[in-house]
Amino acid sequence: MRRSLERSHKHFKKAVGRLPLGVASNFRYWGEDATIYIARGKGARVWDIDGNEYVDYRLGYGPAILGYADPRVEDAARAGMEVGGVFGLATERELAVAERICKMVPSAELVRFSNSGTEAVMAALRLARAYTGKDSYVIVEGGYHGLFDSVLWYTAVEDWAEGGGEPELVPYGEGVPMLLKQLVHQVPLNDANKLEDSLKKHGDDIGAFLIEPIMGNCCGITADAQYVKDVRALCDKYGVVMIVDEVKTGFRVARGGVQELMGVEADLCTFAKALANGYPISVLAGREDIMRKIGDGVAHGGTYTAHSVSLAAAEKTLEILDETSALDDIAAYGRAMQSGMSEILDRHDIPHSFVGHPSMGGLFFSETPPSNYRDWKDSDYTFYDTLAPVMHDLGVLCEPDSREPWFVSAAHDEACLAQTLEAFETAVAETAETLGAGNRERIQAAGAC
């Protein structure tokens, strides 16, 4: 271990006495010896409480798209603070932010605010059910849509053998009512026939299809643009509301999100993360006739919605993303990083591929990337799992779980890139040595991806 985590370790021991796992979100627990506590972040860098500095590719799971504590957003947030918070009444700025969103995202005809991605997706699902009068819904295997019971289901592909029927649907954890299972159907990404089969079979009960076309919680596995168009047509054919969850992709992969990239318009879509550079705010947007059900039978709202600080931060963040070259610069950095990494891996003769978008790319140790979650389970992630902690030791913070993409911000600069590639060079060499000569064979034996 090249860095000291002494203070983080000490703090963990105290924190665990008061906070389950010693943290405020299960995902922040990286194990007793690896959980770190952050002192502050600025630009593309964060510092832990031991004083270790990292170039950060997690960005809080995506939000800090302009970099931590961007001065333009911070000034706007401070002005938002002067407004006074929440009043149980509306403010004028809500319309200004809604207008900007509708300008950037063609499918967004009307907009409502919430506080988190989870809340926005919950609202979308409720609205779709109300609009169609149907309670069941289809989600995509390997997807993640937040911490609420209706979507806390996953396909157990780990021990599943192809040809042995469909993989089982299981709750993410305890406390999720089994009663809900009868409402959830799952399909693999990139297989429109499977979706049609499901709609044919259960169509009378299905009100919504929920999809994240670049799977931001599954290494960035990406839907083919044609598949997304087929999905659009199927939703129309079977009268199902198509919800595109853009909580991670929104205002990141393009001004109009993944919908713009893939040339498709959702019926409803959800945004959060990049919307306000890290301030808690989210959006449910979509087709006017569906959105008008809000207030005409469908409940939506909340004490903290459109808080003046978050709203002011969103207004400024969106202005920057819309009116500057920030998103192009982020994608260019991502491409340069991926090509530098490729060069290093090629030199070591290590099969690899990238998926997703350069601004949120997944790194695979296989020649062909997976096209759905079923493929992912056959991929070899030992190399990634071994590499990531070495990168941390060398001052580059990527997610230890290979299912999380590498997020890039507008604050990642030439110095970050050089530092990242230098660390990557060392980490790849060390990992290859640790795993030994059989590495290439193991990756190839792992299958198509």
Indicate the pairing of strand 360-364 with strand 406-407.
antiparallel
Question: Least separation, in Å, of the C-beta of 272 and ligand PMP?
Answer: 5
Nearer to ligand PMP, 117 or 286 (CB): 117
Tell me: does residue 409 bind ligand PMP (CB under 6 A).
Answer: no
Partner residues linked to 284 by β-bridges: 112, 270
Total of residues contacting ligand PMP (CB under 6 A): 15
CA distance 235 to 266: 10
The correct pick among 41, 43, 80, 117 for binding ligand PMP (CB under 6 A) is: 117
The correct pick among 116, 338, 342, 386 for binding ligand PMP (CB under 6 A) is: 116
Tell me: does residue 231 bind ligand PMP (CB under 6 A).
Answer: no
Question: Taking CB positions, which residue lies at the least distance from ligand PMP?
Answer: 117
CA distance 160 to 375: 11
The correct pick among 66, 127, 183, 247 for binding ligand PMP (CB under 6 A) is: 247
3-state SS assignment for residue 72: helix
Tell me: does residue 43 bind ligand PMP (CB under 6 A).
Answer: no
For residue 408, which phi and psi values (nearest 5 degrees)? -110, 145
CA distance 22 to 154: 26
Q: Which of 241, 284, 289, 291 is nearest to 266 (CA)?
A: 241
Rg (CA), the chain: 22
Tell me: does residue 423 bind ligand PMP (CB under 6 A).
Answer: no
CA distance 350 to 367: 9
| Residue 443 contacts residue 366 (beta carbons within 8 Å) | yes
Tell me: does residue 399 bind ligand PMP (CB under 6 A).
Answer: no
The contacts of residue 367 (CB under 8 Å, 6+ apart) are 351, 352, 353
3-state SS assignment for residue 357: strand
Stretch that binds ligand PMP, among 193-201, 227-235, 243-251, 426-434 (CB under 6 A): 243-251
Stretch that binds ligand PMP, among 114-122, 254-262, 297-305, 359-367 (CB under 6 A): 114-122
Tell me: does residue 60 bind ligand PMP (CB under 6 A).
Answer: no
Question: Least separation, in Å, of the C-beta of 286 and ligand PMP?
Answer: 16
Stretch that binds ligand PMP, among 43-51, 65-73, 211-219, 390-398 (CB under 6 A): 211-219
The correct pick among 142, 216, 250, 351 for binding ligand PMP (CB under 6 A) is: 216
Stretch that binds ligand PMP, among 72-80, 99-107, 123-131, 242-250 (CB under 6 A): 242-250
Tell me: does residue 61 bind ligand PMP (CB under 6 A).
Answer: yes
Stretch that binds ligand PMP, among 210-218, 250-258, 367-375, 441-449 (CB under 6 A): 210-218
Tell me: does residue 67 bind ligand PMP (CB under 6 A).
Answer: no
Stretch that binds ligand PMP, among 110-118, 168-176, 252-260, 395-403 (CB under 6 A): 110-118
Instruction: For the beta carbon of residue 97, count every other beta carbon within 10 angstroms.
Output: 26
Question: Least separation, in Å, of the C-beta of 248 and ligand PMP?
Answer: 4
Question: Least separation, in Å, of the C-beta of 174 and ligand PMP?
Answer: 20
Tell me: does residue 219 bind ligand PMP (CB under 6 A).
Answer: no
Tell me: does residue 123 bind ligand PMP (CB under 6 A).
Answer: no
Nearer to ligand PMP, 334 or 405 (CB): 405
DSSP characters over 6-56: HHHHHHHHHHTTTSGGGSSSGGG---TTT---EEEEEBTEEEETT--EEEE
Site string for ligand PMP, 290-309 (x = CB under 6 A): --------------------
Tell me: does residue 342 bind ligand PMP (CB under 6 A).
Answer: no
Dihedral angle computed from the Cα positions of residues 375, 381, 384 and 388, in that order, rounded to the nearest 10 degrees: 110
Tell me: does residue 112 bind ligand PMP (CB under 6 A).
Answer: no
Site string for ligand PMP, 264-283 (x = CB under 6 A): --------x-----------
The contacts of residue 169 (CB under 8 Å, 6+ apart) are 153, 154, 155, 156, 181, 184, 186
Question: Least separation, in Å, of the C-beta of 337 and ligand PMP?
Answer: 21
Tell me: does residue 421 bind ligand PMP (CB under 6 A).
Answer: no
Spell out where 53-205 has E strands.
53-56, 110-114, 136-140, 153-156, 168-171, 184-187
Q: Which of 379, 320, 323, 315 is nearest to 353 (CA)?
A: 379
Q: Which of 278, 240, 273, 232 is nearest to 107 (CA)?
A: 232
**Residues making contact with ligand PMP (CB under 6 A):** 61, 116-118, 121, 144-146, 212, 216-217, 245, 247-248, 272
